């Protein structure tokens, strides 16, 4: 009895083990089948999508590729956060590390944004497509056709009379104010763009569609500035992405290429130079000679600086006149000799001893800029009257003033032994009279004493401040911002994409690096 029961239990155990193993095998087979089915479905979907999707360089671009400055055929340019490495095949060439990132496209402005790099990238094909579509849209709207003044038809006059939705520009209107995205240490470019876009005559020129480009390529900086003015005064409030402008600046000014911190003054001169070369004067001639040019850049920014070299023996004067776009002024605290306004009892002003105190205003800096300078015995110049090398004095004055005067306060000092930023405060006025510094002005200097005679009713040389560029930080690491003036003397601070309202006190209390003044009265020929 007991033996039979024991045998039956052993049989049941054996059957249970066999059944459990069979179940495990069945489960494994089912899982394998499911995985195979999933893989097959995924492969089918990938094949279908691959057949219907656009080319890879338009769908899944790589944020990093070779620099466009090297003329490579790669599609995208690196963003500010893309890692860089040295190209072993071409020493000295920067090349980005290749990686596949996700991105999105701004359908309104055409900008491409990389989520991984958190930056905007530039794509040649997308830019070409956007340009073609833009030309079609402009053609439909009549933009780019031959300029002519608008004369309303009878129908348009009737509509204007009965239009109930008229809008007026009020004191609260801020048209023309728009932030600029920082593309990686590009605040030096953004601050100059803000100053240029708020230059009244330059604004009127570009918004009137006066520029007619005949360049075959898309490398005209004047065309890009024209488009930039359209963007600024279109009424849009979202920050603008100046990637196309940065690309053209890098193309035409190779020394500014890269994402390192650059000098705003250096960018201003480079931008004016490229715009000058791409412009044509009123007679349709290329602007190749800065001394005889009538392009819009020279009409607004070019002045004439007169240099008089006087022989100390025969008192003969040699005069030269050179064009200028800006006036660079030395500051107290620099290693450059800084003469006092009144002569010292020991004659130090004539002996060449430097002084670092006294000048606290823009007018003081201009006085020193236009004072006679004794060249010394080590810098003798051959006199045309004496026919020999003699000691002489040199004096700079303004022969012709530009419509827009830009004053550069030399805060960055570079020398073989010293590199530093000069933080000396220099006060500057809202209104500036340049008459005392003109070559034709009635002024006398006796024993170093500065005297002047100014006609209070002469408004030909009076200027008004409309933009101030400031630099915060050190020489190695800093940031640029701009104060700009709108209508009715409203001031705003432009800090890349952020624009805030400012007071006149905020402007005048700022350190000041580049000061932009506009003539109050214009003469038309």
Q: What is the pLDDT of residues 360-393, one digit of tens each?
A: 899 999 998 988 888 877 777 777 777 777 778 8
Pairing of strands 491-495, 498-502: antiparallel
Instruction: Determine the pLDDT at residue 147.
Output: 52
Contact in structure between 480 and 471 (CB atoms under 8 Å):
yes
In a domain, 497, yes or no: no
Query: Which residues, at least 6 apart from 382, have a Cβ–Cβ distance to it below 8 Å?
Result: 388, 389, 390
Contact in structure between 297 and 272 (CB atoms under 8 Å):
yes
Q: Three-state SS for 38?
A: helix
pLDDT digits (tens, 9 = 90+) for 276-298: 888 864 445 554 554 567 888 99
In DSSP terms, 398 is beta-bridged to 305, 438
Instruction: Determine the pLDDT at residue 17.
Output: 72
DSSP letters for 79-110: -TTS-EEE-SSSTT-EEEPP-B--EEE-TTT-
101-115, 171-185, 235-249, 256-270, range with the lowest pLDDT: 101-115
Structural domains of the chain, count? 1
Quick one: how far is CA 402 from the chain centroid?
Answer: 21
Query: Which residues, at least 6 apart from 455, have a Cβ–Cβ distance to it below 8 Å?
Result: 435
Supply the range of the domain harboring residue 91: 36-141
Which spans in 306-387 are helix H? 348-351, 362-369
Contact in structure between 105 and 112 (CB atoms under 8 Å):
yes
Q: Three-state SS for 443?
A: strand
What percent of the chain shows pLDDT beyond 90? 23
Cα separations in angstroms, 307 against 339, 381, 395, 449: 19, 14, 6, 21
Which of 46-50, 347-351, 415-419, 435-439 tops mean pLDDT?
Answer: 435-439
Give the C-alpha separation, 305 to 322, whole Å.
Answer: 5
pLDDT digits (tens, 9 = 90+) for 461-487: 899 999 999 999 888 788 999 999 987
Instruction: Determine the pLDDT at residue 463.
Output: 94
Instruction: Determine the pLDDT at residue 393.
Output: 84
Give counts: helices (H), strands (E), the chain.
13, 24
Query: Which residues, at least 6 apart from 515, have a Cβ–Cβ distance to it below 8 Å?
Result: 362, 406, 407, 409, 428, 465, 467, 468, 469
| Whether residue 517 has pLDDT greater than 90 | yes
| Whether residue 94 has pLDDT greater than 60 | no
Band (pLDDT 50/70/90 cuts) for residue 403 is very high
Cα separations in angstroms, 427 against 127, 343, 352, 356, 370: 45, 23, 26, 16, 19
Instruction: Determine the pLDDT at residue 351.
Output: 34
Instruction: Determine the pLDDT at residue 114.
Output: 80
In a domain, 410, yes or no: no
| Whether residue 231 has pLDDT greater than 60 | yes
Instruction: Determine the pLDDT at residue 181.
Output: 92
Query: Which residues, at least 6 apart from 153, have a Cβ–Cβ distance to it below 8 Å?
Result: none
In a domain, 150, yes or no: no
Instruction: Retrieve residue 279's tokens.
Output: 């412009």
Annotation says 314 is catalytic: no
Mapped to the 3 state alphabet, what secondary structure does 254-289 carry?
HHHCCCCCCCHHHHHHHHHHHHHHHCECCCCCECCC
Q: Which of 114, 187, 223, 311 is catalytic?
A: 187
In a domain, 166, yes or no: no
| Whether residue 195 has pLDDT greater than 90 | yes
Mean pLDDT across the stretch 254-281? 85
Instruction: Determine the pLDDT at residue 471.
Output: 94
Instruction: Retrieve residue 322's tokens.
Output: 């050179």
Mean pLDDT across the stretch 225-234? 88
In a domain, 436, yes or no: no
Instruction: Determine the pLDDT at residue 493.
Output: 95
In a domain, 177, yes or no: no
What percent of the chain shows pLDDT beyond 70? 68
Annotation says 240 is catalytic: no
Mean pLDDT across the stretch 28-40? 78
Instruction: Determine the pLDDT at residue 336.
Output: 56
Q: Which of 279, 322, 329 is nearest to 300 (CA)?
A: 279
Pairing of strands 462-473, 478-485: antiparallel
Say if pTM beats, i.e. exceeds, 0.75.
no
Instruction: Retrieve residue 141's tokens.
Output: 């709207």
Cα separations in angstroms, 173 against 169, 170, 233, 286, 488: 6, 5, 12, 38, 10
Instruction: Determine the pLDDT at residue 476.
Output: 79
Band (pLDDT 50/70/90 cuts) for residue 261 is confident
Instruction: Retrieve residue 493's tokens.
Output: 């601070």
Give the C-alpha separation, 37 to 45, whole Å.
Answer: 12
Q: Which of 57, 355, 374, 479 is catalytic?
A: 479
In a domain, 361, yes or no: no
In DSSP terms, 404 is beta-bridged to 518
Pairing of strands 327-329, 317-324: unpaired
Mean pLDDT across the stretch 335-350? 42
Give the C-alpha separation, 436 to 443, whole Å.
Answer: 7
Mean pLDDT across the stretch 301-328? 87
What's the Rg (C-alpha) of the chain?
34
Q: For helices 221-232 and 243-252, what crossing angle results, to 10°?
A: 160
| Whether residue 7 has pLDDT greater than 50 | no
Mean pLDDT across the stretch 164-186? 77
Instruction: Determine the pLDDT at residue 280.
Output: 64
Q: Residues 365, 369, 372, 374: is their CA dihedral positive or negative?
A: positive
Q: Across the chain, what does the average pLDDT equal?
A: 74
Instruction: Specify the higher pLDDT residue, 136 or 48.
Output: 136
Band (pLDDT 50/70/90 cuts) for residue 12 is low
Band (pLDDT 50/70/90 cuts) for residue 162 is confident
In a domain, 71, yes or no: yes
Instruction: Retrieve residue 250's tokens.
Output: 């890098």
């Amino acid at each position: 009895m007991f033996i039979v029961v024991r045998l039956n239990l052993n049989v049941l155990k054996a059957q249970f083990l066999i059944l459990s193993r069979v179940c495990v095998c069945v489960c494994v087979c089912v899982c394998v089948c499911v995985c195979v089915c999933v893989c097959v479905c995924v492969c089918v979907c990938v094949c279908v999508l691959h057949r219907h999707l656009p080319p890879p360089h338009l769908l899944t671009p790589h944020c990093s590729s070779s620099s466009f400055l090297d003329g490579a055929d790669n599609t995208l340019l690196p963003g500010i956060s893309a890692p860089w490495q040295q190209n072993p095949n071409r020493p000295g060439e920067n090349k980005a590390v290749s990686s596949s990132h996700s991105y999105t496209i701004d359908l309104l402005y055409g900008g491409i944004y990389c989520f991984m790099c958190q930056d905007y990238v530039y794509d040649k094909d997308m830019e070409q497509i956007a340009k073609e579509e833009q030309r079609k849209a402009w053609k439909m709207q009549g933009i780019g056709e031959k300029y002519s003044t608008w004369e309303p038809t009878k129908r348009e006059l009737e509509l204007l009379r009965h239009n109930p939705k008229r809008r007026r520009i009020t004191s609260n209107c801020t048209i023309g104010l728009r932030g600029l995205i920082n593309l990686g240490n590009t605040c030096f470019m953004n601050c100059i763009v803000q100053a240029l876009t708020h230059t009244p005559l330059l604004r009127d020129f570009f918004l009137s569609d006066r520029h007619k480009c005949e360049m075959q390529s898309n490398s005209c900086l004047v065309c890009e500035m024209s488009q930039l003015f359209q963007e600024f005064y279109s009424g849009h409030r979202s920050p603008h992405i100046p990637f196309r402008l940065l690309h053209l600046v890098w193309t035409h000014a190779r020394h500014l290429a890269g994402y390192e911190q650059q000098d705003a003054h250096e960018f201003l001169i480079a931008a004016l130079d490229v715009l000058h070369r791409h412009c044509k004067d009123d007679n349709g001639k290329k602007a190749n000679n800065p001394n005889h040019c009538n392009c819009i850049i020279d009409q607004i920014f070019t002045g004439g600086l007169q240099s008089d070299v006087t022989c100390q023996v025969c008192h003969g004067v040699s005069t030269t006149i050179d064009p200028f776009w800006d006036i660079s002024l030395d500051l107290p605290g620099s290693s450059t000799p800084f003469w006092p306004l009144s002569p010292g009892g020991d004659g130090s002003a004539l002996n060449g001893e430097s002084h670092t105190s006294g000048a606290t205003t823009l007018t003081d800096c201009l006085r020193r800029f236009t004072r006679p300078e004794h060249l010394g015995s080590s810098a003798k110049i051959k006199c045309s009257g004496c026919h020999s090398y003699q000691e002489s004095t040199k004096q700079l004055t303004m022969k012709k003033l530009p419509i827009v005067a830009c004053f550069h306060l030399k805060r960055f000092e570079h020398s073989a032994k010293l590199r530093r930023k000069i933080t000396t405060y220099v006060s500057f006025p809202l209104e500036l009279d340049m008459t005392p510094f003109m070559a034709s002005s009635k002024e006398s200097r006796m024993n170093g004493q500065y005297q002047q005679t100014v006609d209070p009713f002469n408004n030909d040389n009076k200027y008004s401040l409309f933009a101030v560029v400031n630099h915060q930080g050190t020489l190695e690491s800093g940031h640029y911002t701009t104060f700009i003036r709108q209508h009715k003397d409203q001031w705003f601070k432009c800090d890349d994409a952020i624009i805030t309202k400012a007071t006149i006190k905020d402007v005048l209390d700022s350190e000041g690096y580049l000061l932009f003044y506009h003539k109050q009265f214009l003469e038309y020929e």
